[in-house]
Amino acid sequence: MSELTTIARPYAKAAFDYAVESQAVDKWQHMLTFAAAVADNEAMQNLLSSAAAADRLSEVFIKVCGDELDLHGQNLIKVMAENRRLNTLPDVLGLFNQLKADYDKEVDVDVTSAVELSAKQQADLSASLEKRLARKVKLNCNVDPALVAGAVIKAGDTVIDGSIRSKLNRLADALQA
């Protein structure tokens, strides 16, 4: 997986830079989403892993995508086909989405709580996290009764563990030491 991400990174960066320059970030995100779905198709994966010529691969891929790709999107497909990298399109999309989130100063935050959070609690938490992280926050809330009480908040590399289960585990470790 990390090898594919490394391979996909320059394509994602180039597509994103061009999208920003041409003020078409949402359009590029849509094109890449569609192209990644095509690349994930089982029949297309068989074609991509075959020994077909690069121009034939790009021709078939572009034909399948139809009007979903503009001329610049088609050029990206042709370059990726020449380098036998069309199979990395889902990774290109993922990296493009990360670049877009950074550009828009947005962050996805996973919140796992012991009980379901009310709308007010979510709004308060979102406001606090936006202030702390200096970004727009999109909450993804989950419930895990095993936490006993409290919540675990994950935003990128940042983890805030305010669960009772975690505190009980730390207390048990301290008592055993």
| 16, 28 Cβ separation under 8 angstroms | yes
| 58, 81 Cβ separation under 8 angstroms | yes
Looking at the fold, whether 25 and 81 belong to one and the same domain comes out as yes
Question: According to the model, what pLDDT value does residue 57 have?
Answer: 79
Strand-pair category, 106-113 with 136-143: parallel
Report how far residue 97's alpha carbon sits from residue 93's, in angstroms, rounded to the nearest whole number. Answer: 6
| 162, 148 Cβ separation under 8 angstroms | no
**Radius of gyration from C-alpha coordinates of the chain:** 21
Question: According to the model, what pLDDT value does residue 1 have?
Answer: 45
- 78, 102, 126 — which closes off a domain? 102
111, 131, 132: which is closest to 121 by C-alpha?
111
Q: Which long-range contacts (CB under 8 A, 24 or more apart) does 147-152 make?
A: 147/112, 147/113, 147/114, 148/114, 149/114, 149/115, 150/113, 150/114, 151/111, 151/112, 151/113, 151/114, 151/117, 152/111, 152/112, 152/113
Question: According to the model, what pLDDT value does residue 132 have?
Answer: 86
Looking at the fold, whether 84 and 119 belong to one and the same domain comes out as no
Tokens coding 17? 């830079």
Report how far residue 110's alpha carbon sits from residue 29's, in angstroms, rounded to the nearest whole number. Answer: 23
pLDDT tens, the chain, 177 aa long:
457 778 888 888 888 898 888 888 889 999 889 888 888 888 777 777 777 777 777 788 888 888 888 888 888 888 888 888 888 888 889 899 888 888 878 778 888 888 888 899 889 888 888 888 888 888 888 888 887 788 888 887 778 887 778 888 888 888 887
Q: Would you call 163 helix, strand, or coil by DSSP?
A: coil
Looking at the fold, whether 6 and 93 belong to one and the same domain comes out as yes
The model's pTM = 0.65
Looking at the fold, whether 81 and 144 belong to one and the same domain comes out as no
| 92, 36 Cβ separation under 8 angstroms | yes
Looking at the fold, whether 97 and 110 belong to one and the same domain comes out as no
- 85, 102, 119 — which closes off a domain? 102
Q: How many structural domains is the chain composed of?
A: 2
| First-last CA distance in the chain | 39
Q: Whole domain around residue 70: which residue ranges?
A: 2-102
- 102, 121, 143 — which closes off a domain? 102
Looking at the fold, whether 61 and 136 belong to one and the same domain comes out as no
Give the domain CATH number at 50: 1.10.520.20
Looking at the fold, whether 67 and 124 belong to one and the same domain comes out as no
